[in-house]
């Protein structure tokens, strides 16, 4: 999508004599699908990050208007924070227990 995005921006800036090159024989860069046993599987780019927060990923409007993708929230962003928080709280609780039960 970076080549198409760059071409679009250049075109909007008035530069129309341009050529977009692809590294392989298909369009879309890393975005592609492959047929495995009759099932179409996406390989390469699998999601567009940064579409739910206050700062929108600039590629999302282009991808959404072109490919009509659906947007959904996942908890992948909070995974590390949640694991850290649970581990931290458990460790603090353990430290408090040992601190409070130690003979003075």
Q: Which residues are catalytic?
A: 49
- Please provide the size of the chain in residues: 104
Closest CA to 23 of 32, 15, 33: 32
């Amino acid at each position: 999508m970076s080549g198409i995005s760059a071409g679009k921006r250049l075109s909007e800036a008035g530069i129309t004599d341009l050529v977009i090159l692809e590294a392989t024989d298909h369009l879309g860069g890393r975005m592609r699908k492959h047929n495995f046993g009759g099932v179409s599987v996406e390989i390469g780019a699998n999601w567009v990050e940064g579409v739910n927060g206050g700062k929108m990923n600039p590629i999302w409007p282009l991808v959404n208007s072109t490919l009509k993708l659906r947007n959904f929230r996942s908890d992948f962003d909070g995974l590390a924070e949640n694991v850290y928080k649970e581990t931290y709280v458990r460790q603090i609780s353990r430290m408090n227990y040992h601190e409070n039960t130690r003979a003075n």
